[in-house]
Homo-oligomer: A and B are copies of this chain.
């Protein structure tokens, strides 16, 4: 099962728009954190590090949901439910530099996580959308 991103909301994925990523904790409750994302036309890609709870969650329970709203128009948003299909360090560093440049204007290698995590190997989580709700 796969779902596509409507053209009307594609710009939200091309960013820079902070996404809320919901993963599932071991007890089934949601964890929600802000993340930088990119979209390659097939996968929504989250960049992270393997020491985080969301990493453990996505490895063990690949069902996730992303939500992005337009910072210029709060009534316009997209919810993307999906499955983490690929977890790989390949391309993680380069991707992080690109994301950092897009989101902050600085090509530094760290994300939203605090403290800055330049020294850690980056991991890519490639999420296949299975259901998309666009509004506004």
> Known contacts A69-B18, A112-B74, A114-B136; is A30 also within 8 Å of B34 by CB?
no
Looking at A60-68, A87-95, A118-126, the stretch in contact with chain B turns out to be A60-68
| Other A-B pairs beyond A20-B22, A22-B65, 18, CB < 8 Å | A18-B74, A20-B20, A20-B32, A22-B22, A22-B30, A22-B32, A24-B28, A28-B63, A30-B32, A30-B64, A30-B65, A30-B81, A32-B79, A34-B69, A71-B71, A75-B112, A77-B112, A113-B135
Give the contact-size bracket for chain A: 20 to 34
Which positions in A face B, CB cutoff 8 Å?
A: 18, 20, 22-24, 28-34, 63-67, 69, 71, 74-75, 77, 79, 81, 103, 112-114, 135-136
